[in-house]
Homo-oligomer: A and B are copies of this chain.
Amino acid sequence: MKLHWSPRSPFVRKVMIVLYEAGIEHQVTCVRTPVAMDKPNLDLMPDNPLSKLPTLVLDDGTAIYDSRVICAYLDGVAGAGLLPAEPRARLIAERRQALGDGFLDTLLLYRQERNKPQERQTPAWLSAFGLKAKAVVAALEKEAPELETTPFDLGLISIGCALSYLDYRFADLPWRDGHPALAAWHLRFNERPSVVRSQPDDAAA
């Protein structure tokens, strides 16, 4: 299988964590595929017309995306058990994954907006993104006791990757302040070998 990959995409990171957890990383060749919101990658678009990462090309040429579809597929192939079978537990895992993914979508837009020259920024967007970020972290702090007792799954992976992305790109936002339970959970998330191995690589081309 071929994975359109980048060393700093948080959605690619979700897939890498699943590969390491499942122990099937050797079945996938990672191909460095640069994408940017203002620069669609024409080489990627035959596989994914949205020009987004991650995109996984199966051995028969079928291309699949997005991270959620890829993670569920790889989990199934490897029987890694990262999506609970029990309906209620699965629903909660899927809702958490949607929260982590949605948070990442918001943070990616937030970063784009912050990096614009001031005269092109939309102040109401910046306020809205900041308010949402605070609300998500506050909601996760309330949920932290359940995060602690949930076996590692796709929901936790997505939430963990989103918080790590906060650390990586929003180091100025002190999200741990007032959220000790979430900070403690994330500390343990960060120590997991699959998470350590998938850290963003600033040295990568």
In the assembled complex, A23 has its CB within 8 A of some CB on chain B: no
Query: A124-B38, A125-B38 in contact; A102/B52 too (CB < 8 A)?
Result: yes
Is the CB–CB distance between B38 and A122 below 8 Å?
A: yes
CB atoms of B91 and A50 under 8 A apart: no
Q: Are B122 and A94 in contact (CB under 8 A)?
A: no
Taking A45-B132, A64-B98, A72-B94 as known contacts, 9 extra A-B pairs with beta carbons closer than 8 A to each other, sorted by chain A number, are A37-B125, A37-B128, A40-B128, A50-B103, A50-B132, A51-B128, A63-B95, A65-B95, A109-B109
A69 and B68 CA atoms in complex are apart in Å by 11
How many copies of the chain does the oligomer comprise?
2
Residues of chain B within 8 A (CB-CB) of A37 are: 125, 128
Q: Tell me which residues across on chain B come within 8 A of A49, comparing CB atoms.
A: 99, 132, 135-136, 138-139
- Rounded to whole angstroms, the CA-CA distance of A50 and B132 in the bound complex is 6
Chain B residues closer than 8 Å to A105, beta-carbon distance: 105
Which A residues contact B (CB, under 8 angstroms)? 37-40, 45, 49-52, 62-66, 68-69, 72-73, 76, 87, 91-92, 94-95, 97-99, 101-103, 105-106, 109, 116, 119-122, 124-125, 127-128, 131-132, 135-136, 138-139
Q: Could you tell me if B69 and A76 are in contact, using CB atoms closer than 8 angstroms?
A: no
